[in-house]
Amino acid sequence: MRNLLVELRYNGSRYHGYQIQKNAITITEVVQDAIEKLLHTREPIVGCSRTDSKVHANSYFFNMKTKFKIPTHKFVNIMNNALPSDICVLSCREVPLDFHSRYDCKGKEYIYKIYNATVKDPFQADLALLHKTHIDEKLLNDTAQVLVGTHDFTSFCSLGFKPGTPMTKTIEYINIYREGDFVYIKIKADGFLYNMVRIIVGTLLYINDGKIKPESLIDIMNKKDRTFAGKTAEPQGLYLNLIEY
């Protein structure tokens, strides 16, 4: 038996997230279909994280236990021939049998991409959030630093989370910067709550637009109440960017 660790990159625009769903096409389903074509059996795969509908990944890992002895470089090439153009395999390597792509993850980095212009760009419609009000990236970067460190992020978690969910996470850094008409919000942490990045982004955009005062961000976090934060930003600007093992 072998345990393969496979790295993917995908455009999530036409998928209903990573996890298998009964009545919608997902990344897992398409990847398992490709594996079945290759190995003539439907192998279970274990993903490193969930990604929601229309969310993208620059780097995503899953591990798969298999008895087949196909060389890892051939696995990459054959899988890419079987996958659609919006999903690709970047790498494949053998790992110990007890390796788990989710539980052995030490940290994740997300990037949220905003197209900051007054006129929409149809080529960015599924790849970035359009925000027409000018973004003061320096203000937001300075303001967001109060979130860095170990905190209870209940205020930045969608309502309806499972009772007993650990709400304390450690954010290593938040960097907000501009490249032309694009503003990027980069966040790395040891883990994330459901919709945590998108709610942080939505709250920061409320601050940018004058709906919330910058100095209120730490109070919002300390209230541990989702209703005080801004709206959940739309999914198409979110990219899982880095997985740390």
**Annotated catalytic sites, by residue?**
52
HSE-up of residue 217 (Cα within 13 Å, Cβ side): 24
CA proximity to 65, closest of 37, 91, 88, 41? 41
Rounded to a whole number of angstroms, the CA Rg of the chain reads 19
Which residues pair with residue 6 across a beta bridge? Answer: 62, 92
CA proximity to 229, closest of 205, 208, 199? 199
Residue-wise DSSP of 139-192: HHHHHHGGG-EEEE-GGGS-TTPPTT---EEEEEEEEEEEETTEEEEEEEES--
Q: 43-53: string of b/e by CB count within 10 Å (b at 16+)?
A: bebbbbbebbb
Per DSSP, helices labelled H in the chain are: 27-39, 72-82, 137-144, 196-208, 217-223
